[in-house]
Structure 1
Amino acid sequence: MVQFWFSTRRLAELARALRLPLRHADTSYMVHCALGELFGTNAPGLYYVDVQHGPKKVDDGRDVRVLAYSELPGDALMELARGFASPMVYATCDFERMAAKPMPSHFAPGMRLGFELRACPVIRKASAGESPSGRRKWRRGQELDAFVARSWELDDPEVDLEREAVYREWLTGHFERSGAVRTRRISLERFSLDRFLRRHGPQASGKRKASTITRPAATFSGELEVLDAAQFGELLRRGIGRHKSFGFGMLKIRRA
């Protein structure tokens, strides 16, 4: 695990250099861009922007703390940045405050762990379909908020559907399919509908277009019991859910 501190002012400069519209530049996505520019293909794929120690929007003059799981140790990441990042990109991160620690190589079955997770609870429809009334239709492969998808499937205004219950079921399903853990407790701590900036592949002109998307952002906490040590290690490396480039999916663990 590596802890970084990024300058929001420097992130804003990077956004301008990448020709991204600052009005839509969320800090989490700018951290994703900075990690890629700093470390290339060795950039951590899972990271967590600590909103309690920094801002959500770019360029308010403060630093933002970022935790990440990395395959490389901290000193190796620093050497990569020193060797290959441009001075402007290198300046986005305060490497003097960077800290790193090795993660345990083994989690014994039966171990109980507390966790925190910022996730994007969405699903992709396996096939095209419509709600019982025909008022709602969806395409094959369409991505939907898990709560919206369930409400469309039920299509019953008399049913009092709870967002937290749907999201807990969504997360429990991910844990169960992993074969790594048993859930003992899950709570939804925070929820919001957030807008994110997304860059698309290069166009014929060589430029990358950018658009905004709106997705659910949910922060969970709870307690897990390890069932399979190898599968749990893989779960930590893989993360949970989609849109990891927006800072989703990193499972932070602690003593229960």
Structure 2
Amino acid sequence: MKKTSHIPELHDWIVAEKKLGRRIGLVPTMGYLHRGHLTLIEHAKQTGAFVVVSIFVNPLQFGPTEDLSRYPRDLERDARLLEDAGVDILFHPTVEEMYPRPTVTFVEVGELDQVLCGAARPGHFRGVATVVSKLFHIVEPDMAFFGQKDYQQYLIIKRMVSDLNLRIKICAVPIVREEDGLAMSSRNVFLKAEERQEALVLSRSLQEAGENLRSGQRSAREIEAQIRARIHRESHGVIDYVEVRDAEDLSEVTDIKRPVLLALAVRFGTTRLIDNKVVEVDTIV
């Protein structure tokens, strides 16, 4: 596996591979890798692509009250995992490499940025869309892989690619969970033992809500109320949001008639966890 933190060197390597007729697959990450990230890489390798993984903790997507320095990092460990996974290139730029001078150009994402995590973290998705756009221009991939745990991020990147006519296929990979159902996240490391146990209510409440939909429930507000009630009943988690949204564009839903996204964000102690479930229309009787 080749490793570099320099854009020109990465560019030269990718140009050489493209001359050989290779397709390029990109897996953008912020590091501190877990099995969810490795699953993205597995999906990329299954396409036969030359796989580039980026590790960059992007300051643009952290708000003024969010601790950028607290985000977990372990580049040596990550590099070993990536080499074992058969990754072709690890790109781990510094902040100075990615942002050599103050940024004045940003990618705005409109109404998709105004709901769910966008409402709770103003400017977050502008930072995400901007850095992913930069990575797309640096790596010039044919395809890029994103996990559905960050479903809003996936939709925003997919829409950005469409709106800007980028010739990149955005590939969604299902949520990877621990055996007990907790969605894998780099932030799980911050959970205390009791918080970790209580956090299981997230996946369980989503599963129950999905079953209620399949049983004939159609009221989005009622589904939200049921999820909230279970979280309050079974944990000390502080709810940021629990919402039912249209799975295609995150628009508001009242009566459920199309595929929907059941999305939530809850704080356990100082750790904010997100989770979601997409319920397809053909599963609603």
Smaller-chain TM-score bracket: under 0.3
Tell me the TM-score normalized by structure 1. Answer: 0.27
Tell me the TM-score normalized by structure 2. Answer: 0.25
